[in-house]
Structure 1
Amino acid sequence: MLKITKFGGSSVANATQFKKVKNIVESDPARQYVVVSAPGRRTASDNKITDLLYLLDAHRHYHVDASNVTKIIRERFLSIKEELGLQINMEKELDEFFANLSKMTQAEIVSRGEYFCAKMMAEYLGYAFVDAADVIRFKMDKSIDWEATTAKVKAKCAKYDHFVFPGFYGTDANGHIQTFPRGGGDITGAVLARCIDADIYENWTDVSGFLMADPRIVKNPEPITHITYSELRELSYMGASVLHEDAIFPAKEKNIPIHILNTNRPQDKGTIIQENIDQPSEYPITGIAGKTGFTSILVYKKHMSNEVGYIRKVLSILEEYHISIEHIPSSIDSFSIVVADKDVEDILYEMVARIKSELKPNRVRAKSGLALISTVGRNMSSKPGTSGRLFGALGANHINISMIAQGSDEMNITVGVKEEDFKKTIQVIYDTFVTKKGE
């Protein structure tokens, strides 16, 4: 058994968390290769090191005194070093870093949180330190150079039985530091897992995996023990975020299970993400997620079905404004385009006016205040009456459905409701399929 074990920012926020990481790593000999993020928040009012580094870069860029920021960063790292009794000369490392800020790019600066954290963690665990800059290679188009990266990862694994690896960055084709998007430490772990064909990719964070609904809406929702990559994509897109979405793809390509676990509660089962799941689900659905802040643009034209390319012409107008489309529910003579409020707040009426003048529909109407809720489950297609139960439950609770969309794979049902019904809708769906359980 070979595992890539990644610890997020909350898992390395201070010396106490470092100790938890060590206990976890040493409890399983399969945890040979460890990836770490930069130290995260210790409390709700605290700062993430990466946020401080972005702030430091802004101070540098605008020639503003950054001594207060450098002081906080220095104290964070030195407090971990001193409490753990580490020998690494962090004072020198930090002095050199701050002295060379003017020569560094933003990517170099913000990557140092992971770099310094990995160096300290390597000493604390007694593992080798391997710099991501020497291993992960990006192409000119910023995609990963899999051939070069895989060769370098395998070479490091052949050289070291154990190592600690900083997440979030690598080097581009010109040898300069390049970062992944924020949260990219998750991607780094998945990249390493893919390169060495790991048996499992463990992602340790501050939650015990995914829950079937938002705990801020549903009290004590059931945990999701197993979920497919496809279900995760659906739920993540609708706001159920625990893992960076881009971290799914490298593992999915090799069908490597991703195990989400809680550093603060290592005894919890967590959530296993895997495309092929043999274990039967206890519930007819896997999870519920949703978002508010959508607008529906209704376009109606008599005999529209006889006019070739009409919908395409409307969509081309939205494309000119670079608007991403969420859903397009349609009927014979009308269709609606659902878009995010934030994408159209300054141009909505301009777009509607263009649709009216250029395409001459009988009616165009924009309606905001829409919420979208997705009910997701790999088992829904094999359980007749699932959609009927969902719609019946919403009707019985006097929730009006403005829009319905179902994926072609029958894995999700998305409904649009008024924003004021958002929380109530999620609670009703949860009660229907989980609390009552029924088949």
Structure 2
Amino acid sequence: MDLKALLIRIRRMRQTRMTTKRREKVLDSLSAQVASKLFDPEKKGGQWATALGDHRSAILAATSEQEFEREVLMVLLTLGISHVGFYHEDLTRCTAKMALASTYVPQAFRGEQYWTFQDVHAGGPAAKAGIRPGDILLSVDDRSYRPFEHPHFSMGSTVSVEVISRANHQETKHVTIPLVAPKSGQLPYIEPDPLVQTRRLAHDTGYIKICAYPGAIGVDIANDISKSLKTLGDIRRLIIDLRGNTGGGIGILRLMSYLSPVSLPAGIFQHGKLTATSQISDQGFLLDRIPRNTLERYLLTVRYFAMLGARCITRRRLPVTLATESLGPQPFHNRIVLLINQHTASANEILLAFAKENKLAIIVGEASPGRLLAGDKIKLPYGYRLTLPVGELRTAQGNNVEGNPIAPHVPVPFDPELAREGHDNQLKVALDVVSKL
């Protein structure tokens, strides 16, 4: 066993037993953080405080840590906004998205509701075990899960997942979940390998699928996107598959930049909001290029903090203008399709709004979820973490995506029965649409 695995297992063994007094301390700290840091333009924080008071006794009386977390989260969800979460750093209670590199949705089957796998990223634990889109989840380690109870998975384990698969055959898949150490301030997360996949769908049509944008600045993912597009060669049409991509960092700027030959403003972040702008400001920090390597990333950081320090001395805020890189004309411009679904969230919705407002691509698939607040992860006592929205992101034309899903130009719902038989109905429509551009 390597040192990383040993340290993780030691931390698991040292987990603190949560007494009522300790739970009260967690709730008090959580309440103080919500009061001081929540981005709350609609003043919903007061509603949450009332809801917490009404449910406090029940939360403290929870019979397990899982129930305690679930009860706290249910009260937080009364805020009715995205990027709100409450979880423990324990690596034994991870979601399917984190541990299996997959998503699922509720679907009716034989008159009953089941979880049905929708996105199963190639190279992730679920895909390696043979789970496919459309497979119906019956149980995990012999325990049944139905909507809206979610299974949890332990990092560094192997679980038995029973599914109904192709031709409605019942099968058991043994899913091996690697042991990963969470990065500072982040949830443990298994990245699919590779994160970027490409192939040709026709003699002049390229396809690129991007699973996530890891990293705050996104140097590696930006480079991967550029290299992958180059491997497609001379293509006149492009399908960008963002289904199951729940967001990430600023690396998405590289993908946005491939939609336009010139630099276009995406917005300006100031006073906690990304506000409308039709010009690139010279009064603040301009982020219009992803660094190519560690040195460039270091120089970017130095330049930003130098400007920020100067503004702090004069007690002025530093606006940050986000603009696309000027990558020049591409042979597929004006013949691009963005393929999305209900899991295409967060940073992706900046791209979707940008593409729609500037008429740079046709969007095919399902509506996005409308989750675009800027979130932050906050440390609480005894290993708990709170996720809160701390700022608002708006498009260059001033539109607010939060709570307003971005509708596709061509709606195509996910068909689990076709998926279970190996057919991708959404990709088929996307290919038909792009072939006519």
- Structure of greater Rg: 1
Higher relative contact order (CA 8 A, sep 6+): 2
More strand by share: 2
TM range (shorter): under 0.3
TM-score, structure 2 as length reference: 0.26
Identify the structure with the greater helix proportion. Answer: 1
**TM-score w.r.t. structure 1 length?**
0.26
